[in-house]
Structure 1
Amino acid sequence: MIKAIYNWIDERLDITPLWRDVADHEVPEHVNPAHHFSAFVYCFGGLTFFITVIQILSGMFLTMYYVPDIVNAYASVDYLQHQVAFGVIVRGMHHWGASLVIVMMFLHTLRVFFTGSYKAPREMNWIVGVLILFVMIGLGLTGYLLPWDNKAYFATKVTIQIASSVPFVGEYIKLLMQGGDIVGAQTLTRFFAIHVFFLPAALLGLLAAHFLMIRRQGISGPL
């Protein structure tokens, strides 16, 4: 059945060359765990991407139930957690995945640094990777407020206070993040919009650039 569907699509769009270009791409021997035990460190990037996909899919599920206002935000999360089938599992995956993806990205960054993979001709990809790390941190910070409980509220106040201490532009950053004089309805709305629309759009663009450069330049050699 699947093969018949694939053949039907392939007859009309000729997708086989595109698929072969991806599937038949050879990888260097030093990233093959069967030949080199140290090759496992080259899996950090792939694992980071895998967790990112889980975050996107679970986040899409959560937005079906989440209500981004200060009156109903906590109640909507509580409903998802206790009333929706498998809601507690999906939210748990998204919650712990937010921390795990940062850990995996940090390990991936260390691997790139200590193997010298940031050097020519891959400097631009290193810059894109660092930008992806900042976007991921931003996703974690903005998502932390969304449950709108005491821990999220006061943690966000501390985060905004830290941001306001940036020289020259701190107060502008605070106003942009807070949306007013206090952490309230405008803050929650802004964090939700940034978390669901702005940062994911930036993330997808940066990931596309990251993978394109990896495809063009190949996987870096061993240390």
Structure 2
Amino acid sequence: MLNKIYDWVDERLDITPIWRDIADHEVPEHVNPAHHFSAFIYCFGGLTFFVTVIQILSGMFLTMYYTPDIENAWKSVYYLQNEVAFGEIVRGMHHWGASLVIVMMFLHTLRVFFTGSYKKPRELNWMVGVMIFIVMLGLGFTGYLLPWDMKALFATKVGIEIAASVPFIGEWIKILLAGDATILGAQTLTRFFAIHVFFLPAALLGLLAAHFIMIRRQGISGPL
């Protein structure tokens, strides 16, 4: 059945050359665990992408039930976790995945740094990777407030005050995140939701596309 579907699509869009280009791409010997025990350190990038995909899919499920409103945000999270089938599992995946993706990305960044993979001709890809790291941290920060409980509220307040202490632009950052209100409220929650669900994911997908294209053009870096 799948072969018939593939043949039907291939006949119209000629996808076989694209698939062959992906499937038949050679992988350097030093990243093959069968030949080199140290090859496992090259897996952190792939693991980061895998967890990112889980975050995207689970996040899409959560947005089907979440209400970005100070009156109903906590109630919608409670309903999702306690009333929706598999809701507790999906929310747990998204919650713990938010921490795991940072750990995987940190390990991937260490591997790139200590193997010198940021050097010529991969300087631009290193900068894109750093921007991806910053976007991921932003996703973690903005997502922390969304359950709208006391822990999230006070932690976000501390984070916003830290951002406000940035020289010259700190006050602008605070207004961007929290709005004009002196306390965290409806405007803050709405902005955090929009940044978390629309702006940062769009930036992340664009940066990931650039990251993968450069990896494909330049190849996987050599061993230390």
Q: TM-score, normalised by structure 2?
A: 0.99
RMSD: 0.4
2:14 aligned partner: 14
Structure 2 counterpart of 1:8, one-letter code: W
1:128 aligned partner: 128
What's the CA shift for 1:176?
Answer: 0.8
1:106 aligned partner: 106
Query: Residue 25 of structure 2 aligns to a residue in which SS?
Result: coil
What's the CA shift for 1:122?
Answer: 0.1
What's the CA shift for 1:68?
Answer: 0.1
Distance 2:197 2:170 in 1: 24
Distance 2:183 2:62 in 1: 27
What's the CA shift for 1:182?
Answer: 1.4
The count of residues paired between Structure 1 and Structure 2 equals: 223
Structure 1 counterpart of 2:162, one-letter code: I
Structure 2 counterpart of 1:185, one-letter code: A
2:156 aligned partner: 156
Identity %: 83
Distance 1:13 1:61 in 2: 31
1:218 aligned partner: 219
1:201 aligned partner: 202
Structure 1 residues 185-196: aligned runs within 5 Å? 185-196=186-197
With 166-175 and 118-127 compared, the bigger mean Cα shift is at 166-175
Distance 1:174 1:190 in 2: 11
Distance 1:10 1:109 in 2: 38
Query: Residue 156 of structure 1 aligns to a residue in which SS?
Result: helix
Distance 2:176 2:201 in 1: 18
Structure 2 counterpart of 1:119, one-letter code: K
Residues 10-53 of structure 1 show CA distances to partners (whole Å, capped at 9, x for unaligned) of: 00000000000001000100000011010000000000000000
Structure 2 counterpart of 1:77, one-letter code: V
Unaligned runs of 5+ in 1: none
Structure 2 counterpart of 1:171, one-letter code: E
Unaligned runs of 5+ in 2: none
Distance 1:202 1:57 in 2: 17
Corresponding position: 1:147 with 2:147: yes
1:95 aligned partner: 95
Query: Residue 166 of structure 1 aligns to a residue in which SS?
Result: coil
What's the CA shift for 1:185?
Answer: 0.4
1:182 aligned partner: 183
Distance 1:99 1:168 in 2: 31
1:47 aligned partner: 47
Residues 130-167 of structure 1 show CA distances to partners (whole Å, capped at 9, x for unaligned) of: 00000000000000000000000000000000000001
Structure 1 counterpart of 2:207, one-letter code: L
1:30 aligned partner: 30
Structure 2 counterpart of 1:62, one-letter code: L
What's the CA shift for 1:70?
Answer: 0.2
Q: TM-score, normalised by structure 1?
A: 1.00
Distance 1:66 1:136 in 2: 21
Structure 2 counterpart of 1:113, one-letter code: F
What's the CA shift for 1:170?
Answer: 0.7
